[in-house]
Structure 1
Amino acid sequence: MHVHLVFVTKYRRDVFTKKILDDLKITFTKVCEDFEATLVEFNGEDDHVHLLVNYPPKVPVSGLVNSLKGVSSRRVRKADYPSIKNKLWGNALWSPSYFASSCGGAPIGLIRQYIEQQRTPR
């Protein structure tokens, strides 16, 4: 099964750089492997990220999302990126909400193309 996920930064702040997004991709890939899932596509902009994940039916999407957001938030805060430290305070990287859409109706190639076309920061 495929799910398209979108996570938004707290207060929709522009905090992501190319380096942070590259590090997030590594983190998301590892978390997906722990759930026997595969990160098919990943990209983002200054204030949000898109993930296309192939996951087994036994995995609840909410559990996968909680782990993806929790682990990535801890690792990014631990890495102490100045762009995040200056614009966000407290222990929150992500907004508490998220977007999740099953991908049964749209061709996977079309969703991958949409995610690839995000304006990645420099």
Structure 2
Amino acid sequence: EIMRDVCADFEAELVEFNGENNHVHLLVNFPPKVAVARLVNSLKGVSSRRLRQEFPDLVRHYYRANKLWSGSYFAGSVGGAPLS
């Protein structure tokens, strides 16, 4: 829900969301006017803030780093490729 809301703010569509216990995968369809770095920064910032509000125990779990997400990310393009 959080990621979907952020994508909507960028006129983007969250097509698929999943991941592992230590990272997430997002498949996002976004317009070419949107910079990937800006979108990712917003996804991470907004989701971190809202998750900490909803789950206060996260603050205690990540107190040393004082951040929920890593500063890095990977972005790949699938432009035009079928999603299947």
Instruction: Give me the TM-score of the superposition, normalised by structure 2.
Output: 0.87
Distance in structure 1 (CA, Å) of the matches to 2:53 and 2:7:
20
The match for 2:62 is 88
- Aligned positions, number: 83
Structure 2 unaligned residues grouped into runs of 5+: none
Q: In angstroms, what is the RMSD of aligned CA positions?
A: 1.7
- Superposition map of 1:27-66 within 5 A: 27-66=2-41
Instruction: Give me the TM-score of the superposition, normalised by structure 1.
Output: 0.62
The match for 1:107 is 82
Does 2:45 align with 1:70? yes
Higher strand share: 1
CA positional deviation for 1:87: 2.9
Structure 1 unaligned residues grouped into runs of 5+: 1-25, 110-122
- Report the 3-state secondary structure (helix = DSSP H, G, I; strand = E; otherwise coil) of the residue aligned with 2:34: coil
CA positional deviation for 1:80: 2.6
Q: Which runs of 4+ in 1 moved over 4 A?
A: none
**Identical counterparts, % of pairs:** 61
Structure 1 residues 77, 54: closer, same or farther in 2, change over 3 A?
Answer: same
- Report the 3-state secondary structure (helix = DSSP H, G, I; strand = E; otherwise coil) of the residue aligned with 1:31: helix
The match for 1:10 is none
- Ranked by relative contact order (alpha carbons within 8 Å, sequence separation 6 or more), the top structure is 1
